[in-house]
């Protein structure tokens, strides 16, 4: 049984209590994780607070901070295989995907390394000849970064990179489901040479560790990714310390296909858009909205492609769909699909957990165009595609926006004028036209409505980790 440790104030240490981590492919416990409660949270936040106020870190130039981030990016790239394998083992996300994602985790650290010395203040031309006035950009303070279990290394990178570039210090809470890759990543933080206390990585349960961290009086900013219900608790906690928040939440993203689209390429994008990460992705294109004249044809292409997907062991390089992360998640999906079918949704493919070990659930397509199906309403976080159909552009738009979420959206058409019209009116933080799931460190990402607020990626994300100080200097 492997044992993992917390990383607090530059040291690896055990916690007073531990909990088992479950391998989703077998349902067996495979590692022992440290469990942070109030005492561990207190020490981690205090370490981050001290590192922000005194010692080496605040004295470093922005260029020097950038160099440390470049070193971290190189170490991530050099250790990609080990990190990907741990993420796969602990979360069930297939090795093909964790390996591909690590490459751009390193890219995000590189991008923010380069940005560290480009965060500028300004000089204000006020109407007083005897005064000089500047705006300085200073680090916002201690950042609490709380991440969910899917893509932890990536979701931590989009917080750690800009926060360090801006000069902040952090306490990162890895999810209790699959914390191994982030706890292991702490070794690279140490090796890169960040001063003690600048980055602290702990794990534990939401109601104890997460709550203690997000209401801690010395936390200035909470960068949260997770579900909307948890976000409400986090925002309530932030009333205690009046910390600012950025929230990256769930989605129920529309995937709109017009009759004039390249159906083959749209179907490939749809299969990857919903079944990648076994559907456990915030941007999963989980509502197909297809023009009714091509619905039959498109569904038969989709059915064939979905049934050809190779389901199997997550550590096998040829596997295309692995297990869900937890039994709880698999049971929830089974229950909602069952209720949807009972409500009249037609099962096109999938819909039944296989026998045997592990938390597997097959790629599932539900035709919900003639009924009100529970699968259309809530984020399922699983490999379930709900199909709706439309007669004209206005109906496509109405269906696309018929959700409280607004994270991502996909639009497939050869008519670029229509794409422009639709793109402006879709209620979502990201619109992908004739593509899906493209990301880059340069491009901001984030939601509308119940999908949250704040943006990750790009320059603006780094500015979110700063606050301005206005300095007045009398010159005569
Ligand atoms: P979750 O909301 O259950 O948990 C997220 C994190 O919050 C975990 O670390 C958890 O321990 C912590 N937490 C729970 N209760 C807390 C509390 N009271 N105070 C502080 N922290 C608390 O989410 P999950 O099930 O792990 O992940 C799935 C969700 O994450 C989905 O809704 C998904 O869409 C969303 N997500 C969003 C994005 C994005 O970028 N928008 C990316 C990935 C996942």
pLDDT at 385: 98
Nearest residue to 312 (alpha-carbon basis) of 269, 270, 274, 362: 362
Q: Which atom of ligand 1 is nearest to the CA of 447?
A: 41
Q: With pLDDT > 70 as the criterion, what percentage of the chain qualifies?
A: 100
In the reported structure, the alpha carbon of residue 396 is separated from the centroid of ligand 1 by a whole-number distance in angstroms of: 30
The finding on whether 91 has its CB within 6 A of some atom of ligand 1 is: no
Q: For residue 187, what are the contacts with CB-CB under 8 A and spacing of at least 6?
A: 7, 12
Q: Pick the catalytic residue from 248, 291, 320, 379.
A: 248
Q: Which residue's C-alpha comes closest to atom 6 of ligand 1? A: 148
Q: Which atom of ligand 1 is nearest to the CA of 452?
A: 41
pLDDT at 75: 98
Report pLDDT digits (tens) over 55-109.
999 999 999 999 999 999 999 999 999 999 999 999 999 999 999 999 999 999 9
Q: Which atom of ligand 1 is nearest to the CA of 211?
A: 19
For residue 368, how far is the Cα from the chain centroid? 28
pLDDT at 109: 98
Contact 72, 153 (CB under 8 A): no
Q: Averaged over 258-280, what is the pLDDT?
A: 98
Q: Choose which residue among 19, 148, 236 to substitute to test ligand 1 binding: the one with the highest number of ligand atoms within 8 A of its C-beta.
A: 148
Alpha helices in 288-439 (DSSP H): 295-308, 327-342, 374-377, 393-400, 416-425
The finding on whether 457 has its CB within 6 A of some atom of ligand 1 is: no
Report pLDDT digits (tens) over 331-381.
999 999 999 999 999 999 999 999 999 999 999 999 999 999 999 999 999
Report pLDDT digits (tens) over 222-246.
999 999 999 999 999 999 999 999 9
d(CA 410, CA 283): 10
Report pLDDT digits (tens) over 103-151.
999 999 999 999 999 999 999 999 999 999 999 999 999 999 999 999 9
Q: Which residue's C-alpha comes closest to atom 30 of ligand 1? A: 226
In the chain the first and final C-alpha atoms are separated, in Å, by 71
What are φ and ψ of residue 472, in 5° steps?
-105, 130
**Where does residue 418 rank: exposed (0-12), middle (13-18), buried (19+ CB within 10 A)?**
middle
pLDDT at 21: 97
Q: For residue 346, what are the contacts with CB-CB under 8 A and spacing of at least 6?
A: 366, 367
Report pLDDT digits (tens) over 193-208.
999 999 999 999 999 9
Nearest residue to 144 (alpha-carbon basis) of 91, 31, 220: 220
Nearest 5°: the CA angle 316, 309, 337 is: 110
Q: Which residue's C-alpha comes closest to atom 34 of ligand 1? A: 250
Instruction: Give the CATH architecture of domain 2-249+457-471.
Output: 3-Layer(aba) Sandwich (3.40)
Confidence bin at 407 (pLDDT 50/70/90): very high
Q: Averaged over 260-286, what is the pLDDT?
A: 98
Q: For residue 128, what are the contacts with CB-CB under 8 A and spacing of at least 6?
A: none
In the reported structure, the alpha carbon of residue 463 is separated from the centroid of ligand 1 by a whole-number distance in angstroms of: 23
Contact 278, 321 (CB under 8 A): yes
Q: Which atom of ligand 1 is nearest to the CA of 214?
A: 20
Contact 310, 319 (CB under 8 A): yes
The finding on whether 211 has its CB within 6 A of some atom of ligand 1 is: yes
**Where does residue 230 rank: exposed (0-12), middle (13-18), buried (19+ CB within 10 A)?**
buried
What's the DSSP call for residue 167?
A: T
Asked if the domains 2-249+457-471 and 254-433 are classified in one and the same CATH topology, the answer is no
pLDDT at residue 1 greater than cutoff 90: no
Q: Which atom of ligand 1 is nearest to the CA of 151?
A: 43
Report pLDDT digits (tens) over 302-335.
999 999 999 999 999 999 999 999 999 999 999 9
d(CA 348, CA 65): 53
pLDDT at 309: 96
In the reported structure, the alpha carbon of residue 204 is separated from the centroid of ligand 1 by a whole-number distance in angstroms of: 13
In the reported structure, the alpha carbon of residue 452 is separated from the centroid of ligand 1 by a whole-number distance in angstroms of: 12
d(CA 242, CA 125): 32
* 80-91 and 180-192 helices, crossing angle to 10°: 160
Kindly state the tokens that stand for 218. Answer: 């010395």
This model's pTM is above 0.90: yes
Q: Averaged over 289-297, what is the pLDDT?
A: 98
In the reported structure, the alpha carbon of residue 415 is separated from the centroid of ligand 1 by a whole-number distance in angstroms of: 38
Contact 182, 208 (CB under 8 A): no
Give, in words, the CATH class of 254-433.
alpha beta
Contact 390, 411 (CB under 8 A): no
pLDDT at 230: 98
d(CA 457, CA 283): 15
The finding on whether 35 has its CB within 6 A of some atom of ligand 1 is: no
Residue spans of the domains in the chain: they are 2-249+457-471, 254-433
Contact 288, 389 (CB under 8 A): no
The finding on whether 248 has its CB within 6 A of some atom of ligand 1 is: yes
What's the DSSP call for residue 456?
A: B
Contact 162, 462 (CB under 8 A): yes
d(CA 22, CA 51): 34
The finding on whether 448 has its CB within 6 A of some atom of ligand 1 is: no
- Respond yes or no: is residue 291 known to be catalytic: no
Mean pLDDT of the chain: 97
């Amino acid at each position: 049984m492997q044992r993992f440790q917390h990383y607090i104030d530059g040291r690896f240490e055990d916690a007073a209590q531990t909990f088992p981590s479950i391998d989703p492919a077998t349902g067996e416990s495979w590692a022992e994780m440290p469990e942070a409660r109030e005492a561990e949270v207190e020490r981690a936040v205090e370490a981050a607070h001290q590192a922000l106020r005194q010692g080496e870190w605040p004295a470093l130039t922005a260029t020097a901070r950038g160099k440390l981030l470049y070193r971290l990016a190189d170490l991530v790239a050099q250790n990609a295989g080990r990190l990907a394998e741990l993420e796969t083992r602990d979360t069930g996300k297939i090795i093909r995907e964790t390996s591909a994602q690590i490459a751009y985790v390193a890219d995000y650290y590189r991008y923010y390394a380069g940005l560290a010395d480009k965060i500028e203040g300004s000089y204000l031309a006020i109407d007083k000849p005897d005064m000089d006035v500047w705006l300085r950009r200073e680090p916002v303070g201690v950042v609490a970064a709380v991440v969910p279990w899917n893509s932890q290394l990536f979701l931590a990178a989009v917080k750690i990179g800009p926060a360090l570039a801006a000069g902040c210090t952090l306490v990162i809470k890895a999810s209790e489901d699959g914390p191994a890759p982030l706890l292991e990543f702490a070794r690279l933080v140490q090796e890169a040479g960040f001063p003690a206390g600048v980055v602290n990585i702990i794990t534990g349960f939401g109601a104890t560790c997460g709550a203690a961290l997000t209401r801690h009086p010395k936390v200035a900013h909470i960068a949260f990714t997770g579900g909307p219900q948890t976000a409400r608790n986090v925002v309530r906690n932030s009333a205690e310390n009046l910390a600012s928040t950025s929230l990256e939440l769930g989605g129920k993203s529309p995937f709109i296909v017009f009759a004039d689209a390249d159906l083959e390429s749209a179907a490939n994008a749809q299969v990857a858009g919903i079944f990648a990460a076994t559907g456990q992705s915030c941007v999963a294109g989980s509502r197909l909205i297809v023009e009714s004249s091509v619905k039959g044809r498109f569904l038969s292409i989709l059915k064939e492609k979905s049934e050809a997907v190779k389901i199997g062991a997550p550590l096998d390089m040829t596997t295309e769909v692995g297990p869900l992360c937890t039994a709880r998640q698999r049971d929830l999906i089974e229950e909602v699909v069952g209720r949807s079918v009972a409500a009249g949704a037609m099962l096109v493919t999938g819909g039944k957990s296989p026998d045997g070990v592990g938390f597997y659930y097959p790629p599932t397509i539900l035709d919900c165009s003639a009924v009100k199906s529970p699968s259309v309403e809530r984020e399922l976080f699983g490999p379930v595609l709900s199909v709706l159909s439309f007669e004209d552009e206005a109906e496509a738009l109405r269906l696309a926006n018929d959700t409280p979420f607004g994270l991502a959206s996909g639009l497939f058409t050869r008519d670029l004028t229509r794409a422009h019209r639709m793109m402006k009116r879709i209620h979502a933080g990201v619109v992908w036209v004739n593509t899906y799931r493209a990301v880059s460190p340069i491009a901001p990402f984030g939601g509308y409505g119940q999908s949250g607020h704040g943006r990750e990626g790009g320059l603006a994300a780094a500015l979110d980790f700063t606050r301005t100080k206005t300095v007045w200097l009398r010159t005569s």
